[in-house]
Amino acid sequence: MPAFDNYCNGQWTDSETGERFDVHNPADPTDVIGTLPQSTAADTKRAIDAAAKAQPGWEKTPAPERGSILRRAASLLDEQADELAEILSREEGKALPEASGEVARAIDILYYYGEKANDLGGEIKSSSSQDTRLETKTEPLGTVGLITPWNYPIAIPTWKLAPALATGNTVVLKPASQAPIVAIKVAKCLDEAGLPGGVLNVITGPGSEVGQTLSTSEDIDAISFTGSTSVGQMVGETAATDGKRVQLEMGGKNPTVVMPSMDVDTAAKIVSEGAFGVTGQACTATSRAIVHEDVYEEFVDELVAHADNIGIGPALDGYDMGPHVSQDELDGTLEYIDVGQSEGATLETGGSVPQEDRHESGYYIEPTVFSNVSSGMRIAQEEIFGPVVAVLPVSSYDEAVTVANDTEFGLSASIVTEDLREAHQFVDDIEAGVVKVNEKTTGLELHVPFGGMKASSSETYREQGDAGLDFFTTSKTVYLNY
């Protein structure tokens, strides 16, 4: 089977202990895709030392030259896009079209920040004094640690490391152990594109060793984390003790409000795509459909029909929805389905492991719809991270917004309506960092800010677009009297 190594100081190396872990295909756990280093704190410290040593030279590299390396890496990724999509599907489980879209997104991000690097530097401002030049000078933070999740294993690492590198920071990246191979492939393309040794380091292994070392190291100037709220809060608290800059993007319980002015089948299609795409394993996935009582029963019927029409099977075999990434994730979803039934919600469809021959060895679950859900139920409050949607009835727009905001999370939210007033009012009323009208809650443009509110985010700095550059930089204000 293929063996992949850490990328440290421009070299491909094993861990100090030689211990390794296997990455399995969630559609067929007997299919071992590769082995990777089970890295230790000492391995991580070596990567941090390499990054800190390389940082001054990388900062002095002209920003357009840094950008050209990102663009060359994007071109190299593009040349192997089909291969990368297949690897991504095999290690994470998402359907091949979804994996292809994610790979394309990573390529676009590298091109985007490769171009943005040309505009970095600062701004000239008008001074209130004569014979004075007033300007800002943008500088990198230094060395940053990136901790990324398994559900978007190439897009999320890339949308963190690209702005970090473009602005002159050096990076130590810890990808999730369930799906680290595509992140290793990105590092390989950056290496081949001419990235100097030590500027990017990728270390695989457990969070208790790699993540903890990144969070506590005095040589790490900032931590950017995406993952669960519970882990993110621990990372944030640990990193903040020595004044690190922290960026946390965490969980969601994302609502779509359905108003009676919208065609019901269109509304159901929007909710279905948001809830069941990528097997519901997205922090922006639609988890709650909050539906006006005038169309509630019709909407439930249409949503059930959409759910029942989804083909479930191995990602590479042309099915609409692949498996969960692991047995633990499947068990968690099944547990929440039991919770929903015990709370008195009506299981309209799904809720079980499918029984066809093709499902025998993978971590599969049927798309699941609950009706007659009230806002106080756990399935309406807690992130499930699986293809489960709770449908809640409401009697008015005002009640819909109250229910939508009745959660600790505030990541993504949408409304489907033909009423222009409702659409604009929803943008003002909803407590979410991403707001959509007549669209699913999932799906993001790369050139605009992304982030949440409340427990979904540290609410410090946004990701992507110019906001992605802001997190990785600081500025000096220069008064030059000539």
Active-site residue list: 249
DSSP string, 382-429: S---SSEEEEEEESSHHHHHHHHT-SSEESEEEEE-S-HHHHHHHHHH
HSE toward the beta carbon, residue 465, CA cutoff 13 A: 11
Cβ neighbours of residue 312 closer than 8 Å, sequence gap 6 or more: 319, 320, 321, 322, 354, 359, 364, 366, 367
Four-point Cα dihedral 143, 458, 214, 217, nearest 10? 70
Q: Of 64, 75, 47, 227, which Cα lies nearest the Cα of 144? A: 47
Whether the CB-CB separation of 138 and 167 falls below 8 Å is answered with yes
DSSP H or E stretch at residue 125:
strand 124-125
Q: What are the Cα distances from residue 256, in Å, to 32, 383, 400, 438, 466?
A: 38, 15, 10, 9, 28
Residue 458 tokens read as 């540290």
Angle between helices 63-79 and 155-166 (to 10 degrees): 160
Cα 56 → chain centroid: 30
Q: What is the DSSP letter of 316?
A: G
Four-point Cα dihedral 408, 413, 418, 424, nearest 10? 80
Q: What is the distance between the alpha carbons of residues 311 and 321, in angstroms, rounded to a whole number?
A: 6
Residue 217 tokens read as 């190291």
DSSP string, 261-305: TS-HHHHHHHHHHHHHGGGG-STT-EEEEEEETTTHHHHHHHHHH
Q: What is the distance between the alpha carbons of residues 177 and 173, in angstroms, rounded to a whole number?
A: 12
Residue 402 tokens read as 């109250």
Question: Would strands 412-416 and 254-258 be described as parallel, antiparallel, or unpaired?
Answer: parallel
Number of DSSP helices (H) and strands (E) in the chain, helices first: 14, 21
